[in-house]
Structure 1
Amino acid sequence: MSRAAVSRAFTPDASVSNKTREKVYQAAKELGYRVNYLARSLTNKRSDLVGLVAAGLDNPFRTLQLEQLAHTLIARNFRPILLPTSKEADSATVIGQLLHYAVSGVIVTSDAPPSHIFEECAAEGVPIVLINKGEDFPFVDRVVSDDRMAGYTAADVLLKSGAKKLAVVSGAAVSYSSRRRAEAFLARCSTLGVEAQLVPVAINDYLHGQQAAGELLDLGIDGVFSVNDYMACGVLDGLAARGRNDGFIKVVGHDDIPQASWSAYQLTTFLQPCDVQASQAVDLLTSRMSEPDAVARVEFTPITLITRRSA
């Protein structure tokens, strides 16, 4: 059997008969042979690896997001490689490390890297897709959740629940999505003539949600929008620790993490569908591979209100 036929047999979606593919697989099993994908990448100058750059891995939503991205990439015959980053790390350095592996593309869920890394990736033919990032870059595609709708709707939900003095808890300086949700919430309250204020935190996490609970009580707030569920759970636990888990203060979150449905929280929130988001991101990535000079595109991910006991 020719080397070309064997190569096609191990290449997904390649033109080869089922009979030939089965013969090759059987021979490979008997010989203990496996395709060396790294060696193949030396020939093709491109591997089937796709880099996932992510920060905030303590947030359960990030786990869901990465899981769906990984499943979607594998279903499309790619292999995900995760490089975690942090506020202190330079995401450009992390992406630069990925380029050493001849990756086919990069999906970024942490803060957007500086523009020079996009130019470097473009020069090497490596497309990048950003998730929930706001800046426009040439030839860089984005997937963005409908944060404005979430902010508007959160205000309406809290007012409908009977709340009169509202606040949004957000680390607006550290996240594009946080800023958009908080701004939309405050704009909707202003339009409706309702008192509302921003309670800023350094990081949108559980601990800072717990700490914000005391300030919310001091301000006399009775309706709270937390820009993510992870922090909202902290707010609810902070209220409970201060003896105020009586439901007087209504709380709305965002993301619908598994913990949101737990009996301790029963959090009203917005579902940000990670499976839809992952499909959009990988679709943009593969499209960019075939059309590297296409104009930059943005796909919006819809959100769905999930109503529970907290509001």
Structure 2
Amino acid sequence: MSYRSRITALDVAQLAGVSRSAVSRTFTEGASVSPQVRARVLAAAETLGYRVNLLAKGLKDQRTSIVGLVVSDMHHSLRAQLVDALARQLMQAGYRPMLLPVEGEDGMAHALHMMLDYNVAGAILTSDAPPASIAAECAGHNLPLVVLNRDSAGATYAAIRHDAEAAGALAAETLARAGCKRVIAVRQSRPSFTITWRARAFAARASALGLDVDELIAGTRHDYDGGRAAGLAFLPTAARFDGVHCGNDFSALGFLDALRGHISVPGDLAVIGCDDIAEGAWRAYNLTTIRHSMRDLASAAVATLTAQLTGAPPQRQQILPVSLVPRGTTPPL
């Protein structure tokens, strides 16, 4: 297969009968060019199929309209939902999202170097545990950075998160209203800012409500396999409890499957998760959960990044509300 050579601005200039600089001004917002020349240039560009090389233009201008989306745990449906919302809203705002899937600190560092190579306008990190060195290096390169679902105390980046404390407290209150007396917070060993804070808030609120509270950390990742491992570890002591708060919905699905055939939910045990992933509403699970909006999180992230790009200092922290989604793994409230 043969490919035609790329059409250049010089080709457009020759067909339109204008200078190369006139073509450049036509495609530069705010530049001075007469209506007649603009019309001839646009007609020639349409005929030739010319497109401005925005990447090359951005490199020349020292900044592109590309925004790096640094994403971990892409197998998690909530993360995919967030990335979709971010990409759509970035494009609507005139940015060009560049997806950079990462795993671990080495992957994060590689993503940062790639963003710097492309002179991105800014970056949004969806990991709730980014290395401190990444934020410091972004600040050193004057790269606006928004981190989602992480505390920003003492940081140089903007942080936006859902109200993890309110989510944990709401989970405890929901189990208390369901009549539970002995509850347990179940999570995995992998560090997670939001899940740890939710678990602490859950324990504090449950204790304040007079419930007996315990904690189980089993499994590694906060996903289906981690939840199933936690469910299997929970079974030998299940008779001691009547309520469970899982760290997130993804792990709650594995936890529930581990209990099938052994424990009646919600007859013997009430279970509540957090995140409101789509799979939680499936008939096989019908999981009671705590919702926090990915669309609202994406909107806040894009607005915050735009503000930084126009010279505003990083907004240290924004906290977004959560709400209860009652379903079938808790008794009717």
The structure 1 segments of at least 4 consecutive aligned residues displaced by more than 6 Å after TM superposition are: 13-23
Q: Distance in 1 between matches of 2:302 and 2:130?
A: 19
Distance 2:245 2:71 in 1: 25
- Counterpart mapping for 1:1-311 below 5 A: 2-3=22-23, 5-8=25-28, 11=29, 25-87=42-104, 89-171=106-188, 174-201=191-218, 202-219=220-237, 220=239, 221-242=241-262, 244-245=264-265, 247-291=267-311, 294=313, 296-311=315-330
Counterpart Cα distance in 2 of 1:140 and 1:86: 21
Q: Deviations over 1:76-96 (max 9, x none)?
A: 111111111124644233212
- Given that 1:96 and 1:117 are in contact with CA atoms closer than 8 Å, whether structure 2 keeps it comes out as no
Counterpart residue type for residue 213 of structure 1: G
Question: C-alpha separation between the residues in 1 aligned to 2:148 and 2:267?
Answer: 34
CA distance change for structure 1 residues 265 and 23 in 2, over 3 Å: closer, same or farther?
farther
CA displacement at 1:208 relative to structure 2? 1.5
Q: Is the contact made by 2:89 and 2:302 (CA closer than 8 Å) also made in structure 1?
A: yes
Measured after TM superposition, the shift of residue 137 of structure 1 is 4.2
Q: Distance in 2 between the 1:17 and 1:189 partners?
A: 70
Per mean C-alpha deviation after superposition, the further-off stretch among 209-218 and 228-237 is 209-218
CA-to-aligned-CA distance 1:81-117 (integer Å, 9 cap, x gap): 1111124644233212221111111111114433343
Residue 39 of structure 1 aligns to which amino acid in structure 2?
A
Alpha-carbon deviation of 1:248? 2.2
Structure 1 residue 254, shift from structure 2 partner: 0.9
Distance 1:16 1:171 in 2: 61
Residue 24 of structure 1 deviates from its aligned partner by 5.3
Contact 2:266 2:329 in 1 (8 A): no
Q: Quick check: 48-57 or 129-138, which moved more?
A: 129-138
| Between 82-91 and 104-113, the greater mean CA deviation after superposition | 82-91
Identity of aligned residues (%): 35
Aligned length: 307
**Matched residues in 1 for 2:70 and 2:52: separation?**
26
In structure 2, C-alpha distance between the alignment counterparts of 1:73 and 1:14, rounded to whole Å = 25
Aligned-residue Cα RMSD (Å) equals 2.5
Structure-2 separation of matches of 1:16 and 1:274: 43
1:3 deviates by: 3.1
Cα offset for 1:275? 0.8
The question of whether the paired residues in 2 share the 8 Å contact of 1:172 and 1:179 is answered with: no
Q: Which range is displaced more, 179-188 or 190-199?
A: 190-199
Larger radius of gyration: 2
Query: What CA distance in whole angstroms lies between the structure 2 residues aligned with 1:210 and 1:124?
Result: 43
**TM-score, normalised with respect to structure 1:** 0.90
Is the CA contact (8 Å cut-off) linking 1:50 and 1:80 kept in structure 2? yes
Structure 1 Cα separation of the partners of residues 328 and 244 of structure 2: 14
Q: CA deviation at 1:38?
A: 1.4
- Seen in structure 2, the aligned counterparts of structure 1 residues 82 and 137 have a Cα distance that, compared at 3 Å, is farther
Shift of 1:247: 3.8
Shift of 1:213: 1.6
- How far does the alpha carbon of each residue in 1:191-230 deviate from its partner, in whole angstroms, 9 at most, with x for none? 1221111111322111111122233332222211112110
Residues 238 and 20 of structure 1: is their aligned pair in 2 closer, same or farther, counting only changes over 3 Å?
Answer: farther
Q: Deviation at 1:164? A: 2.0
How far is 1:50 from its partner?
A: 0.7
* Residue 155 to residue 107, structure 1, CA distance change in 2 (3 Å): same
With 61-70 and 194-203 compared, the bigger mean Cα shift is at 194-203
Q: Judging changes above 3 Å, is the alpha-carbon distance between structure 1 residues 92 and 250 closer, same or farther for their aligned structure 2 residues?
A: same
1:32 Cα deviation after fit: 0.9
